[in-house]
Amino acid sequence: MNNKNIKILLIDDEAEFVSTLAERLELRGYSSKTSEDGEAGISMVESEAFDIVILDLMMPGLSGLETLRQIKVINSKIPVILLTGHGSTKEGMEGMRLGAFDYLMKPLDISELINKISLALNL
């Protein structure tokens, strides 16, 4: 699968972070869409096919873990990579228990994220 065919959904409440991450992924040939909250992200998963979701755990409103739960109800097969900061390893582990593929700490290393995306999609 060539990167251009891979559709990534980025869900993160930090507008600047999520738009920068989308640009960085697109520079590497991925197609990405963004959402700044869990509810909108869930709606996007319901209406479009994504190959993978990159999801922030710490968001106001619907939490990352609750967003993950609902995404997994809509599509249990979609790999979800969680982003966590503030030393919240516990939430990352809880997310994996709920079906996340893996989690990464912020600040994000883009090459590490690309590697996780490849692993999640068995590329």
% of residues, the chain, pLDDT over 90: 86
The residue among 118, 120, 119 whose CA lies nearest residue 30 is: 118
- E strand or H helix at 4: none
pTM greater than 0.85 (yes/no): yes
The domain limits of the chain are 3-120
Token reading at 120 = 């999640």
pLDDT band of residue 123 (cuts 50, 70, 90) is low
Task: Please give the CATH number for the structural domain made up of 3-120.
Answer: 3.40.50.2300
**pLDDT for residue 48:** 97
Strand segments, DSSP code E, in 16-113 are: 31-35, 52-56, 80-84, 102-105
CA distance 92 to 95: 5
Determine the average pLDDT of the residues in 38-60: 97
